[in-house]
Structure 1
Amino acid sequence: MWRAAAGCAGHVADSLPRPGERVAVVGCGTSWFVAMSYAAAREQRGLGVTDAFAGSEFPAGREYDRVIAISRSGTTTEIIEVLSAVAGRPTTLITAVGDGPAAAAASEVVELSFADERSVVQTRFATSTLALLRADLGDDVDELARQAERALRESVDDLLDAEQVTFIGRGAAVGISCEAALKTREAAQFWAESYPAMDYRHGPIAIAQPGRLVWSFGETPDGLAAEVARTGARFVHHDLDPLAGLVVAQRFALALARERGLDPDRPRSLARSVILA
């Protein structure tokens, strides 16, 4: 999926942000966390101001050169409302369904129909969208895919007796940590939190104790692993790009759900898309 998404990048480059453009990226739930990760990565590369918003919190009066909206289903009410509010400005929808109402409201559409999925819980569409966006930033997605293949072989069995997990990251990995926690809550109804790694010391570390996990994506701040060890909590880190590391967390959530007798594809109280009357 990631290699296919990267292969699309050259064909849709005119629909994606150009260097120097001031960009807003909007999404809901998982798509918001993808937006967060991309926004941080684009700014870190010096390509222009890039803000990420939950669809309901988008400041419609703020000026941007382009608004990127992410919606797997293309039917999410808040995303349609954002695109309608900025009608007349350059907008791009990234979706798995190119003929939905959100597509009708966008000036340009990037369709990743091959990455759609039956599960209510997003995994492959979200990560494929981020692979596409990172390819557009110039990242080597084939290397990311090789790391994902490694992630599929990482054992998670020895983590399943944990009673709680906190995911942390810096920069583009903050959005990844939020998404990992969401996957764990959605699929396994499990207590999972997420924080910027540097901010973790400012309060959240108080819940660390034996039987709990602190799971770090990407570069870990100096001394933090030792501080976590002193609490008795287990520090988890994989030598992988955070996007590939997310695959390990997805598999952790899946294994937890199965161990608890839950259906990870159809969690309680969730639907594929939130459509408001």
Structure 2
Amino acid sequence: MTRGALTLPEIGSQAEALEAAWRQLNAQGAWVRKYLSDATFEEVVFIGSGSSYYQAQTMATTFRLWLGRSAIALPSSDVFLFRDQSVARGRKTLLVGVSRSGESSEVLLALDSVKDLADWTTCGITCYEQSRLGTMTECLVSPLGQEQSTVMTKSFSSMTFMMQAAIAQAAGDALPAQMEDVLALDGDVVARAKTFSDDLVQANDFNKYIYLGMGAYFGLAQEVCLKLKEMSYVWTESFGTLEFRHGPKSVVEPGTLVCLLVSEGAREYELKVAEEMKEFGAFVLLVTAAAGADTEFADAVFEVGGAALSDEARAVLYLPALQYLGFYTAMKRGVDPDHPRNLTQVVKI
């Protein structure tokens, strides 16, 4: 099979996966009311492993802001191995398992570890309704998130979007309409991202890759960092944007790609960091709602649109260009992004 034959169309079909997730969510309104709308839960804990943990971070951030209630994201293993160190005892807790396959051992072990605890309730989100996760607890299901490739691309986008849309429905007000706006934008973003990233990779050779993000974009920065590492085997790191200035920036030099996921809420501060990295010799890539006079210093800018939307609603629009960046870097290096070495689609203990 041709290298990348699985991953490329999966990245390219995520707009359809988001649409299907939206339709499915509208059919699962009872799930939203039962779990997300229940304000008696004193703590909501989103868990996942690898990419699923990174999307759990974005989900928890969105939940805290839009619903004004306590929520955290944890690696699945923290719950079944270090539960009392990670979650305060004696609180009514909702545990939300996040797993593309629904078969990740650590997620299943975490849910199983609390099944007999009176203060804990479980639910989940997956792409496979008949998976172990899907049958052991009630789940949202992203029907077109299923993938053949090892790396998560459209599954990550569609599950993140679906959970955010569920939170938006629980919150009400104008938030569901914002998620519909994201659906309207996504197809064009995916189409433009393909050419943008291919051209960027072909025109440049980088020896270091750094991804920066804050708020809802911190989990995304970790995810796109992982995508590049999984697909192309290059070493890359991710940091909170302003935290990068406190020591890690020492690695920046000519040949370093610094990619910043720019929020509107902290745009002024984040762009100051990017300008500083440019002064150190970095190639600066900005993914942002809209370019402006304040982004003219950057070497490359990808606009996703939706500047009037909240940063959280716009989150999944940042993914396609950076998923393609990982894909085309792998292809340029002669690596098969469909079958990364040492990796399997499902991680079991």
Q: TM-score range by the shorter chain?
A: over 0.9
Q: How does 1:137-148 map to 2 (within 5 A)?
A: 137-138=167-168, 139=175, 140-148=178-186
Structure-1 residue corresponding to 2:24:
8
**Closer, same or farther: CA 174–19 of 1 in aligned 2, 3 Å:** farther
Match for residue 202 of structure 1 among 233, 246, 261: 246
Residues 67 and 167, structure 2, Cα contact 8 Å, conserved in 1: no
Structure-2 residue corresponding to 1:111:
141
Following TM superposition, by how much is the alpha carbon of 1:216 offset from its aligned partner in structure 2, in angstroms? 0.9
Match for residue 68 of structure 2 among 40, 44, 47: 47
User: Is 1:191 the equivalent of 2:235?
Assistant: yes
Structure-2 residue corresponding to 1:126:
156
Structure-2 residue corresponding to 1:18:
37
Unpaired runs of at least 5, structure 2: 1-16, 169-174, 289-303, 305-313
User: Is 1:35 the equivalent of 2:56?
Assistant: yes
More helix by share: 2
Q: Which moved more, 1:226-235 or 1:86-95?
A: 86-95
RMSD (Å), alpha carbons? 1.8
Residues 151 and 245, structure 1, Cα contact 8 Å, conserved in 2: no
Following TM superposition, by how much is the alpha carbon of 1:46 offset from its aligned partner in structure 2, in angstroms? 4.3
In 2, the alpha carbon distance for the partners of 1:45 and 1:111 equals 22
**Closer, same or farther: CA 257–98 of 1 in aligned 2, 3 Å:** same
The one-letter amino acid of 1:246's match is L
Following TM superposition, by how much is the alpha carbon of 1:103 offset from its aligned partner in structure 2, in angstroms? 2.8
TM-score, normalised via structure 2 length: 0.74
**Closer, same or farther: CA 105–137 of 1 in aligned 2, 3 Å:** closer
Match for residue 200 of structure 2 among 148, 155, 158: 158
In 2, the alpha carbon distance for the partners of 1:271 and 1:103 equals 20
Residues 12-60 of structure 1: CA distance to partner in whole angstroms, max 9, x if unpaired?
Answer: 2433422643200000101000000111122122431111011111243
Match for residue 72 of structure 1 among 80, 95, 100: 100
Structure-2 residue corresponding to 1:99:
130
TM-score, normalised via structure 1 length: 0.92
Residues 213 and 236, structure 1, Cα contact 8 Å, conserved in 2: yes
Q: Which moved more, 1:96-105 or 1:251-260?
A: 96-105
Q: Give the number of equivalent residue pairs.
A: 275
2:211 is paired with a residue whose SS is strand
Structure-2 residue corresponding to 1:267:
340
Structure-1 residue corresponding to 2:300:
none
1:152 is paired with a residue whose SS is helix
In 2, the alpha carbon distance for the partners of 1:12 and 1:174 equals 29
In 1, the alpha carbon distance for the partners of 2:319 and 2:131 equals 28
Unpaired runs of at least 5, structure 1: none
Structure-2 residue corresponding to 1:168:
212
Larger radius of gyration: 2
Residues 142 and 162, structure 2, Cα contact 8 Å, conserved in 1: no
Q: How does 1:248-267 map to 2 (within 5 A)?
A: 248-267=321-340
Q: Which moved more, 1:177-186 or 1:52-61?
A: 52-61
